[in-house]
Amino acid sequence: MENNQPQAPEQGAQEAQDIITRAKANSKLILGLSIFILVVIAAILIWFFVAKSGSAKADEAIGRADVAQNDSVALVLYKEAATHGYKSGNRAKMEVAIRLYQEGNYEEALSYLKDTSADDHIAAAGVYTLMGDCYVNLKQYPEALKAYDKAVSKADKNPSIVPVVLIKKANVYRAEKNYEGEYNALKTIVDEYPQFIQQSQTDIRKYYERAKAAAGK
């Protein structure tokens, strides 16, 4: 018999890790930036939804989707769960959006993201970041930049999230040949998030110097 009680935060954290593992196996690049970074943010978002689940009925619908062995079946069940309200319904919408994104269905993913309510700052940052990634893949760069700006605002200087989104912004600016914008985005990381640079596997300073030269600084 399925457990209709909300999942504990510890279970949510484990589920978030499982999502990261699955996504890493099917990852693709977004303008040269690994999808792994995206999924980390999405996993944080999902953890919040799991930890704060509300309705027992919505939890039950989520539970059926969580244990589905087939990805296609899981997508159908998450779509069904997304019709519910409460935190679980929002979590289901995010699950659907992630799967649609991975399948390349960016327009449909956006429709679920736009209908997702996220009261928590980190959760909201995750929603807007994934929206930005969808717009990037649709080559709607101005909309992507707007979404990333909202993600930065919602993240409220979170040192694990803001630099990631700024890198995404820098990539978009470079695709538009807006080297001034690229330089400013990377300069913010260099000036305000030095610890992120130390911990990152990406040579951010190299790209910063490249953007600086291209911008004529």
DSSP 8: P
Does 4 reside within a domain? Answer: no
- What sign has the CA pseudo-torsion 26, 77, 151, 216? positive
Q: Looking at residue 69, what is its pLDDT?
A: 72
Q: Looking at residue 135, what is its pLDDT?
A: 97
Q: Looking at residue 46, what is its pLDDT?
A: 58
Does 168 reside within a domain? Answer: yes
Q: Looking at residue 77, what is its pLDDT?
A: 82
Does 86 reside within a domain? Answer: yes
Specify the CATH number for the domain of residue 172. 1.25.40.10
Q: Looking at residue 1, what is its pLDDT?
A: 44
Does 87 reside within a domain? Answer: yes
Query: How far apart are alpha carbons 95 and 92 in whole angstroms?
Result: 5
Listing DSSP states for 141-184 in one string gives HHHHHHHHHHHHHHHTT-TTTHHHHHHHHHHHHHHTT-HHHHHH
pTM of the model as a whole:
0.73
Q: What is the mean pLDDT of each run of 10 residues along the chain (217 residues)?
A: 44 47 42 51 56 60 76 82 76 89 95 86 90 97 97 93 96 96 96 91 90 94
Structure-token match 């943010």, residue found: 41
Q: Looking at residue 86, what is its pLDDT?
A: 66
Q: Looking at residue 19, what is its pLDDT?
A: 44
Does 156 reside within a domain? Answer: yes
Domain limits for position 21: 10-214
Does 157 reside within a domain? Answer: yes
Q: Looking at residue 39, what is its pLDDT?
A: 57
φ, ψ at 131 (rounded to 5°): -60, -45
Does 2 reside within a domain? Answer: no
Query: How far apart are alpha carbons 44 and 141 in whole angstroms?
Result: 25
Q: Looking at residue 23, what is its pLDDT?
A: 42
Question: Total domain count for the chain?
Answer: 1
Residue in 121, 119, 74 with CA at minimum distance from that of residue 100: 74
Q: Looking at residue 170, what is its pLDDT?
A: 96
Does 108 reside within a domain? Answer: yes
Are 172 and 141 spatial neighbours (Cβ–Cβ below 8 Å)?
yes
